[in-house]
Chains A and B, each alone.
Chain A
Amino acid sequence: MGISRLEERFETLKSEERAGLITFTTAGDPDYNTSLNILNGLPKAGADIIELGMPFSDPMADGPAIQAASIRALKNKMTMAKTLEMVKTFRKNDTTTPIILMGYYNPIYIYGVDRFLENALNAGVDGLIIVDLPPEEDSELAVPANAADMAMIHLATPTTNTKRLDNILRNASGFLYYVTIAGVTGSAKSDLSPVKAALSEFRRSSDIPIAVGFGIKSPSDTSRFAEFAEAVVVGSAIVDIIESNIDEHGLAISTMESKVLSFVSELAAGVKSAKR
């Protein structure tokens, strides 16, 4: 499916005249089975698009919450192969919710770019967000990904000027991910008005859907940003709930899954309540 599953989802959202909710969790956090159960429950809880983190030992663009999630997953022997297996299992019951893998380039580079694209598409992955691949390095992954119909989601940030935006959009597909603050994931709350201004500026150059993320933590946040973005991403706030529902042995407390999913429902309600 790849790019087309994302396109269909954004079409649906458009026809429903609302923004989408994108949730982020790390594959294998805190363990494979709990992580899979959460993944399976996300669409019903209200996630329109799912971002799944590929754990990495050195997540230098992430704040403490997502760093810790990576460490938990790796400690429990999560691998790239298992991440793809998890997506494959999810796809048995859900063929409409787009899944995007987010992470860093090295694990993909070591897996082998062509082999990765083939296996990820076969597993049911639709797009990629690779934090340490700016447009200057598009030839590494973005070009072959697009050629294989895997969406290559590019990031734009408060430091992105109009000239850079053209570079970013050249190989961008799926949607544009606007990072609302200069910082790492899970940083302080972002202000609404500069984000709004940046998005209207970007829309003069392109009609690609725009998702906003970083520093968006609560249902009221998702509601405010959903007024003008095509999708709203929440990550660290969800991962925080996973972290606070782990017992002293590092195991998931039995109520973790329901707590995570009910928080996602609240975030989804926030998105749906937005005035557009």
Chain B
Amino acid sequence: MDKKKVNSYRTGPDEEGHFGIFGGRYVAETLMPLILEVEKTYRDAKIDPSFKQEFQELLKEYVGRPNPLYYAKRFTEHLGGAKVYFKREELNHTGAHKINNCVGQILLARRMGKTRIIAETGAGQHGVATATVCALFGMPCVVYMGAKDIERQKPNVFRMKLLGAEVIPVTSGSQSLKDSMNEALRDWVTNVTDTFYIIGTAAGPHPYPELVRDFQCVIGNEARSQILEKEGRLPDSLIACVGGGSNAIGLFHPFLDDDVDIYAVEAAGHGIDTDKHAASLSGGAPGVLHGNRTYLLMDDDGQILEAHSISAGLDYPGIGPEHSHLHDIGRVNYVPVTDKEALEAFRLCTKLEGIIPALESAHAIAYVMKLAPTLQKDHIMIMGLSGRGDKDIYTVAEALGEDI
């Protein structure tokens, strides 16, 4: 990794929405005028102090930010190496980082005069966060969710319904996140005039990867000032899980130009040498899907493959385009963690710290368990604890062979 080659890693995307060769706007013509309008609205909002003020106020009063940067003492002592901090996104309202982005996007939707919100969801965290902001803003909300995911995430489905959202099961394809995104795009193309699509991750057509990242950068910005306050210096390393990669890019981006080692953990399912994983960087190649060029899991003929992960939120055959770029230029290390390793991490974190992590976040924890013991005690590590695991207890019980 030659960090001196470029002046900054934080300048992307370019005007056409490219991060290196990745990103872009690969959408149907019907959506193009709308996508351009989203971009224009976002440009205006970005320099409008009242937009920024309202966003920050909602994050503070409604989401409950700033959340703590927590020194995981027992976990650190158990691992016997690096000093591990958790950035506690799981303490946000609705239990994950997803709400940061939803607050930002619904403000954009209102600014554009849109009156109806759609979203896709995998684990249901983004669906719940979207349904939540829709309740807050009094807007009707339709959430597309794979039939398979509905089955494994029942509590979140009921939450969305209580919040007033209509949850539409998606039965096409692999019945998980990628198919929900297809179905949301079909809805959007049919309802262009009144509908805003709140995409849940830093992927999709430009400007979504950029605006989702910007809304999620509150994670890294807070972590940065918190660690300076606690330790008087920047961390040595950062670790977060990646599906689409919004919590990871939000944590990483404010540190990209610093001398900090960055690790992003992909879901390796049964292992990246099997056909059951969701590690698009470790096991995929560049392709075009859902509005952007990025690394994808696909066959030799360009057909998208079904991803697999025990964690519904990571069960996607692609990744945000900025991650693909950061991978190609070597600024971020993308590493795989299997279902089994994530489950072990889930149990250890719960027992040692009294924090039940989301299975998504458990992937990051598992990599901390590998890395921290190899490092000196003065090495400071920040891990993004992106969500809480209450939603996952059924999946975990099943994996452990226990009845609830």
Binding site for B on A (CB under 8 A): 55-64, 67, 71, 74, 79-80, 104-111, 131-137, 154-161, 164, 168, 179, 182-184, 187
Contact = CB atoms under 8 A, between A and B. Distances in A.
Chain A CB within 10 Å — which of B27, B290, B302 has the most? B302
A61 B28 contact: yes
Contact of A110 (B16, B178, B301): B301
Interface of B: 16, 24-34, 172-173, 178-179, 181-182, 185-186, 189-193, 285, 287-291, 296, 298, 300-305
Contacts of B191: 182
A91 to B, nearest CB: 22
Nearest to A177: B29
The list of the 6 closest CB pairs from A to B, nearest first, reads A110-B302, A107-B302, A183-B190, A157-B30, A57-B303, A60-B182
Nearest to A163: B33
Nearest to A133: B26
Contacts of B33: 159-161, 164
Given A158-B30, A184-B190, 10 more contacts: A57-B173, A58-B179, A58-B182, A60-B290, A108-B302, A134-B27, A155-B29, A164-B32, A182-B189, A184-B189
Given A106-B304, A134-B32, A155-B28, A67 B172 contact: yes
Given A132-B288, A158-B30, A58 B178 contact: yes
Contacts of B289: 58, 106
Chain A CB within 10 Å — which of B27, B186, B285 has the most? B186
A132 B186 contact: no
Contacts of A135: 29, 32
B190 A187 contact: yes
A203 to B, nearest CB: 18
A212 to B, nearest CB: 14
Contacts of B291: 132
Given A80-B301, A183-B189, A110 B28 contact: no
Contacts of B181: 60
Contacts of B172: 64, 67, 71
Given A134-B32, A179-B29, A182-B192, A61 B302 contact: no
A58 B26 contact: no
A61 B26 contact: no
Contacts of B185: 60-61
Chain A CB within 10 Å — which of B34, B182, B288 has the most? B288
A154 B28 CA distance: 11
Contacts of A154: 29
Given A58-B289, A137-B25, A179 B302 contact: no
A67 B171 CA distance: 12
A83 B185 CA distance: 27
A57 B304 contact: yes
Contacts of B31: 159
B210 to A, nearest CB: 15
A179 B301 CA distance: 28
11 contacts: A59-B182, A106-B304, A107-B301, A109-B287, A110-B285, A132-B291, A135-B32, A137-B24, A159-B31, A159-B32, A183-B30
A64 B186 CA distance: 10
Contacts of A63: 186
A113 to B, nearest CB: 11
B106 to A, nearest CB: 23
A28 to B, nearest CB: 12
A182 B300 CA distance: 33
A105 B289 CA distance: 8
Nearest to A158: B30
A136 B190 contact: no
A56 B302 CA distance: 8
Given A58-B289, A182-B189, A109 B28 contact: no
B302 A160 contact: no
Contacts of B28: 60-61, 131-132, 134, 155, 157
A157 B29 contact: yes
Contact of B189 (A59, A61, A109): A61
A179 B191 CA distance: 15
B29 A156 contact: yes
Contacts of B25: 134, 136-137
Contacts of A168: 29
A132 to B, nearest CB: 5
Contact of B302 (A80, A131, A182): A80
A136 B32 contact: yes
Nearest to A104: B288
Contacts of A183: 30, 189-190
A58 B175 CA distance: 12
B190 A106 contact: no
Given A156-B29, A160-B29, A110 B192 contact: no
Contacts of A111: 301-302
A43 to B, nearest CB: 28
Contacts of B173: 57-58, 71
A107 B303 contact: yes
A159 B30 contact: yes
Contacts of A105: 26, 288
B118 to A, nearest CB: 13
B287 to A, nearest CB: 5
A182 B191 CA distance: 7
A111 B302 CA distance: 7
A58 B179 CA distance: 7
